[in-house]
Amino acid sequence: MIKHMQSVNIIVGSQMGSAEYVAEQLAEALEQQGIQVQLHEQPVFDDIDQQDTIWLMCTSTYGAGDYPENLLPFVESINQQADLKGLNYSVIGLGDTSYDTYNYAGRNLDELFASKGASRVAERLELNILDEALPEDTALAWLPSWIESVGLN
């Protein structure tokens, strides 16, 4: 359990809008529970608070396993960081299981943050856009267990 988490910074990597929509739905649901949320649709590493917060990265995979274009400068900034100890994060990845590179952006982002010493506070959620349920519905169903597991309730 993480102590003193006050807020969630949702960092969006979206090429076609699906991950952005999921992130917006999650932000709204968190706010309805009295949790402070900041949504970063054009994330800039230095502009995002790292103290007393959880970074919830919500990204789709684009092309052949790539990050969405809006996330590239952010990922480059992370690559330049020597140490992210003290940063708490979770990842939601959206992908299409008909591709060999299913959810590579989410998986690679998760590995990148872990390699920099950041603390993964919950297992990565992988959403298959081919599932019968809409990605945002699956994410909203997952949210209460995530809130509890990271100690925001």
Question: What are 50-93's pLDDT values in tens digits?
Answer: 988 999 999 999 988 999 999 999 999 999 999 999 999 999 99
Structure tokens that stand for 53 in this block = 């917060």
E strands present in 14-117: 36-40, 53-60, 88-95
Q: What's at 42, amino acid-wise?
A: Q
Instruction: Using DSSP, state whether 20 is helix, strand or coil.
Output: helix
CA 138 to CA 145: how far, in whole Å? 12
In the chain, what is the straight-line distance between the N-terminal and C-terminal CA atoms, in Å?
A: 11
Instruction: Using DSSP, state whether 12 is helix, strand or coil.
Output: strand
Q: What is the pLDDT of residue 48?
A: 94
For residue range 106-140, list pLDDT tens digits in order: 999 999 999 999 999 999 999 999 999 999 999 99
Residue 43 confidence (pLDDT) above 90: yes
Classify residue 14 by its DSSP letter. -
What pTM did the predictor assign? 0.94
